């Protein structure tokens, strides 16, 4: 069964943590934007990861190096988990979880839905969209909203599943996609419509800002969601960990309270037990 993800109030140094996150995200974003404008030659070599369709580029890796350099300078005692690099241990008890380029396939195809996600786990985080210049940030004080470029944001708060614009994503493995297909097919007649953006971090930021009503995805990694779940929780949305099944890995769901339980029941495999996606690595 799913369980709600409980996120505590921002720490006393949330503003400082967000400052570091923003500087790191903007440094990576500037590099990615320059390469994006330069096309394939600037993006550099592209490699396969988990499957032949799961790709990483030299731009991804360069962006992560830029993030890690700022974290090493400003937060040298903190641990770091990044999508493209080795985990770095720390002594402070805090861990940064970073996705230097969420939406790599979009980026490589010249599509605009890609971003940078930088979070101090469970405490503070930002999602930065270099093309639009939008920076989504978690609150700095308890009870405050998440923001986009400093302006408060909030989820739309629909009260009926049939009125919801739903975001989702799919894995790279063929068997996982085959298991995901009947779930979204069953939901499609029951919701306003479905969007597949191709960036989990943007899906979450857009839920937090009311551009989507709800979102779910199986197979997300900690770096996909570490900043986004903080944004959603601060924007009045429920955040649920989704249990997987025999084929499906664990996942995440965010939705307004009025429809969260119904949506969980429709997407989660029966007789499943939810692992903790916050600390256990599990699509772009």
99 is in an annotated binding site: yes
pLDDT exceeding 70 applies to what percent of the chain? 94
Within 10 A of 182 (CB to CB), how many other CB atoms are there?
A: 9
User: Is 76 a domain residue?
Assistant: yes
Q: Which conformational region is residue 236 in: left (phi greater than 0), alpha (psi within -120 to 50 degrees), or beta?
A: left
- Residues 23-34: pLDDT tens digits? 999 999 999 999
Select the more confidently predicted residue: 266 or 48.
266
Provide the whole-model pTM: 0.92
Assign residue 139 the CATH number of its domain: 3.30.540.10
What gap in Å lies between CA 109 and CA 158, rounded to an integer?
33
Residue 284 within a domain: no
Q: Could you tell me the pLDDT band of residue 271, with boundaries at 50, 70 and 90? A: low
Q: Which residues, in sequence order, are bridge partners of residue 56? A: 47
Of the residues 103, 134, 152, the one at which a domain ends: 152
What are the pLDDT digits (tens) for 205-215?
A: 999 999 999 99
**Going edge to edge, which strands form the sheet with 95-102?**
79-82, 95-102, 115-120, 124-129, 134-137, 147-148, 151-152
- Give a yes or no: residue 276 inside a domain: no
Per-residue model confidence (pLDDT) at position 47: 80
Q: Are 170 and 256 in contact (CB under 8 A)?
A: no
pLDDT at residue 282 tops 80: no
CA-atom Rg of the chain in angstroms? 18
- 238 a known binding residue? no
Across the chain, what does the average pLDDT equal?
Answer: 91
Shortest CA distance to 194 belongs to which of 164, 217, 224?
164
Which CATH number goes with the domain that contains 195? 3.40.190.80
Q: How many Cβ atoms sit within 10 Å of the Cβ of residue 28?
A: 31
Give yes or no for a contact between 84 and 60, defined as CB atoms under 8 angstroms apart: yes
Residues spanned by the domain of 259: 161-267
Statement: residue 19 has pLDDT above 90: yes
Handedness of CA 15, 17, 22, 27 (dihedral sign): positive
Q: What is the DSSP letter of 11?
A: P
Co-location of 77 and 35 in the same domain: yes
Q: Is 224 annotated as a binding residue?
A: yes
Query: DSSP 3-state assignment of 195?
Result: strand
Whether residues 49 and 135 share a domain: the answer is: yes
Same domain, 199 and 144: no
Task: Give buried/exposed letters for 70-98 (b at 16+ CB in 10 A, else e).
Answer: bbeeebeebbbbbbbeeeeebeeebbbbb
Claim to verify: residue 57 and residue 185 sit in the same structural domain: no
Q: Pick from 182, 21, 44: which is nearest to 115 by CA?
A: 21
Residue 273 is predicted with a pLDDT of: 52
- Residue at 244 is within a domain: yes
Give domain status of residue 274, yes or no.
no
What is the total count of domains within the chain? 2
Tell whether 21 and 126 lie within a shared domain. yes
Same domain, 252 and 119: no
Tell me whether strands 134-137 and 147-148 are parallel, antiparallel or unpaired: antiparallel
Residue 232 has pLDDT above 70, yes or no: yes
Q: Are residues 148 and 168 in the same domain?
A: no
Task: List the Cα angle 170/128/187 in 5-degree steps.
Answer: 30
pLDDT digits (tens, 9 = 90+) for 105-127: 999 999 999 999 999 999 999 99
Q: Is 41 annotated as a binding residue?
A: no
Over 50: is that where the pLDDT of 281 sits? no
Asked whether residue 189 falls in the same domain as residue 244, the answer is yes
For residue 135, tell me if it sits in a domain. yes
Pair (18, 57) in one structural domain: yes
Dihedral angle sign, alpha carbons of residues 267, 273, 275, 281? negative
132 with 175, same domain?
no
């Amino acid at each position: 069964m799913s369980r709600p993800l409980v996120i505590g109030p921002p720490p006393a140094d949330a503003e400082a943590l967000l400052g570091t996150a923003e500087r790191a995200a903007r440094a990576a974003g500037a590099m990615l934007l320059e390469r994006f404008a330069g096309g394939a030659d600037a993006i550099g070599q592209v490699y396969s990861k988990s499957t032949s369709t799961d790709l990483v580029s030299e731009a991804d890796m360069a962006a992560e190096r830029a993030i890690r350099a700022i974290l090493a300078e400003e937060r040298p005692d903190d641990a770091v988990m990044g999508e493209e690099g080795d985990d770095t241990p720390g002594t402070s008890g805090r861990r940064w979880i970073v996705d230097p380029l969420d939406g790599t396939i979009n980026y490589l195809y010249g599509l605009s839905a890609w971003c940078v996600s930088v979070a101090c786990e469970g405490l503070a985080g930002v999602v930065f969209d270099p093309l639009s210049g939008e920076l989504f940030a978690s609150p700095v004080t308890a009870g405050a909203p998440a923001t986009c470029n400093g302006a408060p944001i909030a989820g739309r708060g629909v009260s009926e599943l049939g009125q919801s614009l739903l975001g989702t994503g799919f894995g790279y493995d063929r068997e996982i996609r085959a298991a995901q297909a009947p779930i979204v097919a069953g939901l499609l007649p029951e919701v306003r419509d479905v969007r597949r953006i191709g960036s989990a971090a943007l899906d979450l930021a857009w839920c937090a800002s009311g551009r989507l009503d709800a979102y779910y995805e199986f197979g997300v990694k900690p770096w996909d969601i570490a900043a986004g779940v903080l944004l959603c929780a601060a924007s009045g949305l429920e955040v649920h960990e989704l249990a997987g099944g025999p084929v499906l890995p664990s996942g995440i769901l965010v939705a307004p309270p009025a429809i969260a339980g119904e949506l969980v029941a429709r997407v989660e495999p029966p007789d499943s037990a939810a692992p903790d996606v916050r600390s256990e690595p599990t699509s772009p």
